[in-house]
Amino acid sequence: IPNVGAVNFFCNYEESRGNYLVDVDNNRMLDVYTQISSIPIGYNHPALLKLMANPNHLSTLVNRPALGILPPENFPDKLTESLLSVSPSGMTRVQTMACGSCSNENAYKAMFIWYRNKERGHNMPSDEDVSTCMINKAPGCPDLSILSFNGGFHGRTMGCLATTHSKAIHKLDVPSFDWPMAPFPRLQYPLEEFTRENAQEEARCLEETEDVIVKWRQKGNPVAGIVIEPIQAEGGDNHASPDFFKGLRNIARKHGCAFHVDEVQTGGGATGKYWAHEHWGMDDPADIVSFSKKLLTGGYYHKDELQADKPYRIFNTWMGDPSKNLLLAEVLNVIRRENLLEEVTRSGKALLNGLYDLQAQYPGILSRARGQGTFCAIDICDDATRNSILLKARDKGVLLGGCGDRSIRFRPALIFKEYHVHIFLNIFNDVLAEH
Amino acid sequence: IPNVGAVNFFCNYEESRGNYLVDVDNNRMLDVYTQISSIPIGYNHPALLKLMANPNHLSTLVNRPALGILPPENFPDKLTESLLSVSPSGMTRVQTMACGSCSNENAYKAMFIWYRNKERGHNMPSDEDVSTCMINKAPGCPDLSILSFNGGFHGRTMGCLATTHSKAIHKLDVPSFDWPMAPFPRLQYPLEEFTRENAQEEARCLEETEDVIVKWRQKGNPVAGIVIEPIQAEGGDNHASPDFFKGLRNIARKHGCAFHVDEVQTGGGATGKYWAHEHWGMDDPADIVSFSKKLLTGGYYHKDELQADKPYRIFNTWMGDPSKNLLLAEVLNVIRRENLLEEVTRSGKALLNGLYDLQAQYPGILSRARGQGTFCAIDICDDATRNSILLKARDKGVLLGGCGDRSIRFRPALIFKEYHVHIFLNIFNDVLAEH
Ligand code: FES
């Protein structure tokens, strides 16, 4: 008997199609949550069904290799076709992994290795490094930290969890590291109406971030890397401006910290670009960019310097899964063929404008509509009302998800068109009218 | 460009069959390493090819659900058919995960949650617990530890890595927890010839384990759980007797620590039983048993008490992958239909006897032949000779893997028959004769 405490309901995935999820009682729901934002082009996309029905791919499905030591012959080509065809600016390398957590854990390890070699000035660990690391002690296991942000979410394995600060239930009772947390800007929306206030808030957060870096260095636990989401997702869909991220990138550079952008939830097209950080317009946005969810495989891109200096330092049995790369390559084909990023931009505008209208209409219930592409959210007056809205929407055939304390997040697939936006807005309006 | 430092060679998985791996130059090798012990029934098994070619399963391949919230309707049945049909003694619950690392990370979290609730006497965290955990501080993120063993390997994400003590290169430069390590018995082989010496060594290790538990409790970092492999794999194929594990189980009980048996490498049949711990002959062998590799999906079994008290405490986006469960169910059918566990026991005897013979013939090169089922290993006089033997064997068409400082480990698939053993032994003999 698995843990069923969190189960919403059982689904009929065979019958689900496109933007519509079908449950076990044959109820058909417009899915605006898509398996916690992990379904890129909807259910049972014909291109993916065709791909998986191709007998040429059977071997990839039944022979999962240890990619780090015995990759399939076509693996470099497959990477070039898929992940490397959408590399973030300045990054030519990618390391596949299997989920968001191992992607981030290994990205952190890559930053620690890079930082220690930088401190050493060379790649040769001392005998003391080698002997102490075997018993979890410094200098071999050094006192180094990753700086993360209040409200951030980077996963739930123990390294990731030390950088996650979204909800107590995620962290309670699990030992953690003494790693610093900086404030993520708490902006007012719509952003363009509060530019002055928001710029002030962001300046405050940047200043505190720098203070924290100095403080942790002084107490002997220097910040090797900074990890941040371009839009905080689990923590309540919190946005910040390109200027904020540029400032942060500069702070990282100034203090010799690696800069890791966690695109596990934001990556893959939902903001109207492959990577949310592209909206910052920077040539050198990051040292590491991690991904998973809509990319179907996990992994991270990195700059050359962040490549571990020896084999087996960043390693595990599977190092990803070629069957997921296969699916991803076809997903990217579909995105290109069907111009889905433009579609997302169009649908996203309609969605955000619709949310603005509803929030003007129901100011007692709704506030802080915000978003980029279809990666949108809105706040509800309180947690109880939020949950009742989620349930009523489901009864009327729309599946939504919550995030933060009292937000609803919208996470449709990339094939969510303008007419789906209008179907959704009509139903959402009905639900709100009943409140 | 991925990290290629550890790549042995590129493979042609389409052309690989059964126990034979084919490389990109069409060399056909008897595979006695099987992707770091993760291929259960050989390459391109007809039953698996047939399964994946079945159009009824296309939906499972293209729609990966968030299993924790929206499982497919047949998921409980699929678990009953597959994982729950081989539950370890005393365990009725299973939590699927995606790899060995997330299986162990979440098993550790389950032990911490259980331990803290036991300390509290109830499930209600204090306000201080809730507020401190958000900033990585005690009591919310408590000072609790997992005890592990010298030479153990439990994965490379940061929680797992704090319990891994096999090689420095795995741990170097990565911050860790102040968690205790106890000695794993260093036995003499063949076990039955050194029963007295080995019993003494095991008694010493049990005593030290108990001392370490007391010491860590006294310094305010109590041991919430003990994690151990039934046979230490990466650390050099180190065995211990059923009495040792019984003693350890009793120590865990006496000191109120959960007992976690990590069967990521040993599970799935290679020892001649589904679970290596079955050889201990205990009704209540463990509180948690984790698995991955040959099981194709990750996860852990656990006793009722180790169930987290609230939803979303043990959680992530995917919580496993139904497409891997599908494969596993068929693998288990094949194991039963073809009596593969008996086959493994038979092949394992032939393999170990063959290794005994070779070690009598080449006492200057070989020593300490050991094994259970086909999960065998032998030591080579030094690291350089080991590596040269591995290379020469490969040139003669046998793919082997190393472990520990100077061991060779044998990890064939469950379909490795007695005649494969003899093919291997002949080639191995040739390689040794040349040395
Ligand atoms: S930690 Fe990512 S798949 Fe297990």
Catalytic residue among B31, B237, B262, B287: B262
Q: Are strands A258-262 and A223-228 parallel, antiparallel or unpaired?
A: parallel
The residues, ordered by sequence, that sit 6+ positions from B321 with a Cβ below 8 Å of its Cβ are B64, B96, B98, B297
Which residues in chain A have their CB less than 8 angstroms from residue B63's CB? 13, 16, 39, 43-44
Which residues in chain B have their CB less than 8 angstroms from residue A137's CB? 176
* Token pair recorded at residue A336: 């290109």
Separation between Cα atoms, residue A276 and residue B209, nearest integer Å: 50
Separation between Cα atoms, residue B430 and residue B390, nearest integer Å: 13
Identify residue A419 by its one-letter amino acid code. Y
Q: Which of A15, A13, A34, A17 is nearest to A294 (CA)?
A: A34
A304 flagged as catalytic: no
Chain B residue nearest residue A142, CA to CA: B175
Does the beta-carbon distance from A169 to B313 stay under 8 Å? yes
> Do residues B401 and B417 touch, judged by C-beta distance below 8 A?
no
- How do residues B308-341 score in pLDDT, each as one tens digit? 999 899 999 999 999 999 999 999 999 999 999 9
Decide whether any atom of ligand 1 lies within 6 Å of the A290 Cβ: no
Separation between Cα atoms, residue A80 and residue A361, nearest integer Å: 49
C-beta atoms surrounding A166 within 10 Å = 21
Separation between Cα atoms, residue A419 and residue A416, nearest integer Å: 8
Catalytic residue among B317, B357, B395, B430: B317
Which residues in chain B have their CB less than 8 angstroms from residue A181's CB? 135-136
Phi/psi of residue B374, each to 5°? Answer: -90, 5
Q: Which residue has the tokens 């890397």?
A: A225
Separation between Cα atoms, residue B124 and residue A193, nearest integer Å: 43
Q: H/E element holding B28?
A: strand B28-31
Identify residue A276 by its one-letter amino acid code. A
Which residues in chain A have their CB less than 8 angstroms from residue B35's CB? 64-66, 70, 317
Separation between Cα atoms, residue B317 and residue A227, nearest integer Å: 20
Which residues in chain A have their CB less than 8 angstroms from residue B405's CB? none
DSSP A57: G
Does the beta-carbon distance from A99 to B98 stay under 8 Å? yes
- Tell me the CA distances in angstroms from B131 to A171, A172, A419, one per residue in order: 10, 9, 44
C-beta atoms surrounding B219 within 10 Å = 12
Ligand 1 atom closest to Cα of residue B97 = 4
The CA angle A191-A196-A198, to the nearest 5 degrees, is 50
Separation of A108 CA from ligand 1 center, angstroms?
14
Does the beta-carbon distance from A113 to B173 stay under 8 Å? yes
Q: Which of B212, B215, B155, B154 is nearest to B181 (CA)?
A: B212
Ligand 1 atom closest to Cα of residue B99 = 4
Q: H/E element holding B334?
A: helix B322-337
- Tell me the CA distances in angstroms from A429 to A40, A368, A375, B430, one per residue in order: 26, 17, 19, 79
Decide whether any atom of ligand 1 lies within 6 Å of the B377 Cβ: no
The CA angle A169-A170-A176, to the nearest 5 degrees, is 115
Ligand 1 atom closest to Cα of residue A318 = 3
Chain B residue nearest residue A180, CA to CA: B135
Does the beta-carbon distance from A6 to B69 stay under 8 Å? yes
Mean pLDDT split into 10-residue runs, chain A, 435 residues = 72 98 97 98 98 97 96 93 96 96 98 98 97 98 98 98 96 98 98 97 98 98 98 96 98 98 98 98 98 98 95 95 97 98 98 98 97 98 95 96 92 98 98 94
Which residues in chain B have their CB less than 8 angstroms from residue A133's CB? 168, 171-174, 176
> Do residues A149 and A262 touch, judged by C-beta distance below 8 A?
no
- A259: Cα separation from own chain's centroid: 15
Decide whether any atom of ligand 1 lies within 6 Å of the A21 Cβ: no
Sign of CA dihedral A110, A113, A117, A122: negative
Cα of A380 to nearest chain B Cα, Å: 22
B417 flagged as catalytic: no
What is the predicted pLDDT for the residue at B163? 98
Decide whether any atom of ligand 1 lies within 6 Å of the A341 Cβ: no
Sign of CA dihedral A130, A135, A139, A143: positive
> Do residues B375 and B271 touch, judged by C-beta distance below 8 A?
yes
Catalytic residue among A153, A375, A410, A424: A153
Q: In what order do the strands lie in the sheet with B375-380?
A: B366-372, B375-380, B407-410, B401-403
> Do residues B246 and B282 touch, judged by C-beta distance below 8 A?
yes
Residue-level length of chain B:
435
Residue B169 C-beta-side C-alpha neighbours within 13 Å = 16
For residue B4, pLDDT over 70 is answered with no
- When scoring B34, B62, B165, B181 by the number of chain A Cβ atoms within 10 A, the one with the most, hence best to mutate, is B62
What is the predicted pLDDT for the residue at A403? 87
What does pLDDT average to over chain B?
96
* Token pair recorded at residue B407: 């061991």
> Do residues B22 and B12 touch, judged by C-beta distance below 8 A?
yes
Strands (E), A111-257: 145-149, 181-182, 223-228
Q: Which residue has the tokens 């893959």?
A: A268
- When scoring A25, A60, A62 by the number of chain B Cβ atoms within 10 A, the one with the most, hence best to mutate, is A62
Q: Are strands A145-149 and A223-228 parallel, antiparallel or unpaired?
A: parallel
Identify residue A357 by its one-letter amino acid code. D
- When scoring B172, B300, B315, B411 by the number of chain A Cβ atoms within 10 A, the one with the most, hence best to mutate, is B172
B293 flagged as catalytic: yes
Decide whether any atom of ligand 1 lies within 6 Å of the A160 Cβ: no
What is the predicted pLDDT for the residue at A295? 98
Minimal Cβ distance to B308: which of A3, A53, A293:
A3
Ligand 1 atom closest to Cα of residue A97 = 2
Phi/psi of residue B20, each to 5°? Answer: -110, 120
Separation between Cα atoms, residue B230 and residue A383, nearest integer Å: 47
Q: Are strands B28-31 and B93-97 parallel, antiparallel or unpaired?
A: unpaired
Identify residue B383 by its one-letter amino acid code. D
Cα of A179 to nearest chain B Cα, Å: 7
Strand partners, B94: B301
* Token pair recorded at residue B390: 């591995």
Counting ligand 1 atoms within 8 A of each CB, the residue from A38, A64, A96, A102 with the most, and so the one to mutate, is: A102
Does the beta-carbon distance from A170 to B316 stay under 8 Å? no
Residue-level length of chain A:
435
The residues, ordered by sequence, that sit 6+ positions from B90 with a Cβ below 8 Å of its Cβ are B283, B284, B285, B286, B303
The residues, ordered by sequence, that sit 6+ positions from A177 with a Cβ below 8 Å of its Cβ are A145, A159, A162, B136, B175, B177
The residues, ordered by sequence, that sit 6+ positions from B145 with a Cβ below 8 Å of its Cβ are A175, B177, B178, B179, B180, B216, B221, B222, B223, B224
- How do residues B153-192 score in pLDDT, each as one tens digit? 999 999 999 999 999 999 999 999 999 999 999 999 999 9
Does the beta-carbon distance from B69 to A12 stay under 8 Å? no
Q: By CB neighbour count within 10 A (0-12 exposed, 13-18 middle, 19+ buried), where does A193 fall?
A: exposed
Cα of A357 to nearest chain B Cα, Å: 31
Does the beta-carbon distance from A64 to B35 stay under 8 Å? yes
* Token pair recorded at residue A6: 């969190």
Cα of A53 to nearest chain B Cα, Å: 7
Minimal Cβ distance to A8: which of B43, B70, B156:
B70
C-beta atoms surrounding B387 within 10 Å = 13
Residue B364 backbone zone (phi > 0: left; psi -120 to 50: alpha; other: beta): alpha
> Do residues B146 and B162 touch, judged by C-beta distance below 8 A?
yes
What is the predicted pLDDT for the residue at B2? 46
Q: Which residue has the tokens 């008997």?
A: A1
Does the beta-carbon distance from A12 to B68 stay under 8 Å? no
Chain A residue nearest residue B107, CA to CA: A157
Cα of A296 to nearest chain B Cα, Å: 9
Counting ligand 1 atoms within 8 A of each CB, the residue from B101, B290, B292 with the most, and so the one to mutate, is: B101
Does the beta-carbon distance from B9 to A70 stay under 8 Å? yes
**Helix A340-361 and helix A322-337: axis angle, to 10°?**
80
Does the beta-carbon distance from B157 to A158 stay under 8 Å? yes
Separation of A100 CA from ligand 1 center, angstroms?
7
Minimal Cβ distance to A93: which of B1, B75, B129:
B1
Decide whether any atom of ligand 1 lies within 6 Å of the B101 Cβ: yes
Q: Are strands B258-262 and B223-228 parallel, antiparallel or unpaired?
A: parallel
Q: Is residue A75 helix, strand or coil?
A: helix
B273-294: average pLDDT:
98
B184 flagged as catalytic: no
DSSP B148-210: EETT----SSHHHHTT--S-HHHHTT-------EEPPP---SSGGG-HHHHHHHHHHHHHHHH
The size of the A-B interface in CB pairs under 8 A is 364
* Token pair recorded at residue A295: 């990319």
Is the peptide bond between A190 and the residue preceding it cis, with omega within 30 degrees of 0?
yes
B288-294: average pLDDT:
98
Does the beta-carbon distance from A141 to B176 stay under 8 Å? yes
User: pTM score > 0.95 for this model?
Assistant: yes
Separation between Cα atoms, residue B275 and residue B263, nearest integer Å: 7
Identify residue A112 by its one-letter amino acid code. F
* Token pair recorded at residue A88: 């973030």
- When scoring B136, B171, B212, B387 by the number of chain A Cβ atoms within 10 A, the one with the most, hence best to mutate, is B136
Kindly list the structural domains of chain A, giving each domain's residue range(s) and its CATH number in brackets, ordered by start.
Answer: 11-44+339-434 (3.90.1150.10), 64-336 (3.40.640.10)
What is the predicted pLDDT for the residue at A435? 86
Separation of A151 CA from ligand 1 center, angstroms?
23
C-beta atoms surrounding A200 within 10 Å = 12
Is the peptide bond between B322 and the residue preceding it cis, with omega within 30 degrees of 0?
no
